[in-house]
Amino acid sequence: MLNQSLATILATLIGGVLSIVGGFFANYYIQSSSNRLQKQKEIRNILEHIYQSTLAISNAYLQIKVKSFYSKKRDIAKEYYDLSNNMSEIESMVDLYLSPLKENFLEYKNEVINSLVIVFDEKFTDEQLTWADKASLNSDQLEGISGKFRSSITKLLKEKGYSYF
Does 69 score more than 80 pLDDT?
no
Residue type, 35: N
The proportion of the chain whose per-residue pLDDT surpasses 90, expressed as a percent, equals: 15
CB-based burial, 24-63: b 16+ in 10 Å, e otherwise:
eeeeeeeeeeeeeeeeeeebbebbeebeebbebbbebbeb
Which domains does the chain carry?
40-159 (1.20.120)
The mean pLDDT value of the chain amounts to: 79
Tens-place pLDDT, residues 93-131? 888 888 888 888 888 888 888 777 766 665 444 444 454
Measured distance CA(107)–CA(157) in Å, rounded: 20
pLDDT at 138: 56
